[in-house]
Chains A and B, each alone.
Chain A
Amino acid sequence: MSAEQHPITINRRTLLKTAAATGAAALLAEQLGQVLASPAAAQGERLPKEQQIYYFLALNISDPFYVPGRAGMEAAAKMLGVRAELVGPSDFNVAAQVKAGEEILAKPGTAGIFAYAVEFGALKPVIEQAKENGIPVVHGAADWGQPRDAFIGYDMDKFGSEAADVAGRLLGGKGKVGFMGNAGQNVIDRGKAFEKYIKERYPEIEWAGSQVHDASLAGATRTFEAFLGATPDLDLLWFGDGLSGSLANVVKERGGKLKFLATDMPPHTLKAIKDGIFVASMGQDTFTEEFFGFQLLYFAYNGQRIPDTVLLKAIVVTPENVDQFLQG
């Protein structure tokens, strides 16, 4: 028998010793990891200002939607003299967002999390762990309830209601409308609210239905064109997420009577309104949301009382007022 063919032999005592040692080492490592990962706040201490890092935990962060919000975050951090970072996956990968959240918790300087949850159930353990570690959490975009320190942002029901009124005004109370957006829970919620209020308040407006796209530009274009093909008499479409600005050329190419109501205020959306391609946009002022949201985190971490809920109102950008946003 050659050397390679010798079987590995181990007696029961050695096996038990090895197992016990491995278990003890794993337990020690876990405890040590928890101590190292626990921020100073959990131990009743606060980090000095220059070491405090506040995180904006989001997903699909390549969306132009985040540009003004990040600017608001950076403005708040600069004003307060702390660091702030936008983290999360560049697509709708909830698992990757949870992983990014776990990584934040493991970092020693974490002083607060501004959370944009799409699947709150998935992110909840991260938020619970943050609270256990003494890290304040403020929810943005949509309020998922406890556990959290505060919520700042838009009520999706109200947002949908405001969009319904904008659509009603633009159509003079008559016509056919539809909704389209990505599969994010807040987008779905605003779409449902839009449908509800259109049906309640505008009996002469026919509801054409909702469509969901896959969050890529090519996918959004495909779904948009198929939706219009299936409902050629559509008078108004509310495209309920930040990709709407990238569809300007497709809308222009198609022409016709369709009124395209966009969402948010990235530069290409504003330009499309200025050029008369979009009739209006339901703007979420994410600069304000993040500017004040990060201040809430800072105050909470540093032991001051903060309000439970801060609601913001949608900004309706129209050809009449678009210049002031383009200049801004």
Chain B
Amino acid sequence: MENVGEPASAPAAALTTPRRGKLAFRLVRSRLFALVAVNLAVIALVTAINPGFATPQNASVILINMVLESIVLAGTVLLLVAGRFDLSLDGVAALAAIVAGKLMADARVEPLWAVLVGFAIGLAVGLTNGFAIERLGMNPLMTTLATWWACTGAALGLTAGTSPFGFPDSFNFIGQGSLLGIRLLVWYALILIPAMAITLAFTKFGYHIYAAGGDRRAARLHGVNVELVGIVLYVLIALLAAFVGIVFAARIGSASPVAVDGMNLRVIAGAVIGGASLSGGAGSVVGGLLGLLLMHILSNAAIYVGISPYWQKALIGLVLLLAVAFDAFTKRPVDDVQQASLLRRIFCAR
């Protein structure tokens, strides 16, 4: 009886096995594959402990809660790929939402105008960051930290602790409404995220973003206006932050200076876990989304597993560290891997 599991002949096996192995090895070493595998492993593990975890209802909770951050994440990936970063996003989101909210709740301004003023704040902060960093050569960390501080302080000063609430229904609809049975929040992500992913991957501007983040001098020599790319991206990310702040205010029906605190660091972490390099030139929106998804799954899973709330952050940090380590080991050069320790070889699944 012929053994169908064996190759037909030794020479044929010699030709085919390495190719298959190479393909499998490349797949295993792919960052996206690693992230999908880690996400699935966490889901499987948590579901084994609490079967109520893997339900459509909980999937919906996780997605709805990460959907606005995902939009900011996509913009952050573009920024990181261009070798820039922005720490002002939480502040921009809060200030845009509070100004729009106060205009509606206190001054009875029409929602459309209030939202436009909110966007104008995003535009102003983005332009400030962009010109200060790209034209004046100011340090990006300090500049965006300063604008975050200024925006958060202004948001706090404007509210003096009293969050505006009681917005018109037409405004609340942009955060609470649905279209064709799908929440508007999801529609925003379905439109904006692919647009940014396609821009990065398939357009001339996307090529310029990669070029600006790789070697700026070389990019300039190739005719890329590196500074303009930076300004456009700072404006884009600030507008996205303003959008998220306004939509979140509409979702919960009030605006607060601490509405999205911590979002900025979460999206940067998600983007980096997903393959974006802090020094620029590398990264993808899909990878970033998988990184952010992992973070949201972990924080949700901690409650399902029944981990003490006082230990949840530590556990999430540890699992993220393992995920990054797993990813780093699978990305090592092949020669290093072949000579590596048993542990590394296990991680590389060879």
**A-side interface residues toward B, CB under 8 Å?**
60-67, 70, 90-91, 209-212, 214-219, 221-223, 225-227, 229-230, 232, 245-250, 253, 266-268, 271
B16 interface residue per 8 A CB criterion: no
Contacts of A209 in B (CB 8 A): 306
Question: How does the 8 Å CB contact mask read for B165-189 relative to A, with 1 for contact and 0 for none?
Answer: 1100000100010000000000000
Smallest beta-carbon distance A223→chain B, Å = 7
Contacts of B258 in A (CB 8 A): 60, 62-63, 90-91, 215-217
Closest to A218 in B: B260
**B-side interface residues toward A, CB under 8 Å?**
50, 52-53, 55, 57-58, 61, 64-65, 68-69, 152-153, 155-156, 159-163, 165-166, 172, 176, 248, 251-254, 256-263, 296, 299-300, 303-304, 306, 309-310, 312
Contacts of A221 in B (CB 8 A): 65, 252
A sample of 30 cross-chain residue pairs with beta-carbon separation below 8 angstroms, ordered by A number, consists of A62-B155, A64-B161, A67-B161, A67-B162, A90-B152, A212-B309, A212-B310, A216-B259, A216-B262, A217-B252, A217-B256, A219-B261, A222-B296, A222-B299, A222-B300, A226-B303, A226-B304, A227-B303, A229-B55, A229-B61, A230-B52, A230-B53, A230-B303, A249-B172, A250-B251, A266-B162, A267-B162, A268-B253, A268-B254, A271-B166
Q: Is chain A's interface secondary structure helix, strand, loop, or mixed overall?
A: helix
Contacts of B176 in A (CB 8 A): 249, 253
* Whole-angstrom CA separation of A91 from B259 in the bound complex: 11
Contact A63 B161 (CB under 8 A): yes
Q: 5 new A-B pairs (CB below 8 Å) besides A65-B161, A246-B163, A268-B254?
A: A62-B159, A90-B257, A217-B248, A222-B296, A267-B165
Smallest beta-carbon distance A299→chain B, Å = 27
* Whole-angstrom CA separation of A84 from B306 in the bound complex: 45
Contact A249 B306 (CB under 8 A): no
Contact A249 B161 (CB under 8 A): no
Smallest beta-carbon distance B346→chain A, Å = 32
Contacts of B257 in A (CB 8 A): 62, 90
Closest to B90 in A: A216
Contacts of A250 in B (CB 8 A): 251-252
Most interface-central of A66, A226, A266 (chain B CB within 10 A)? A226
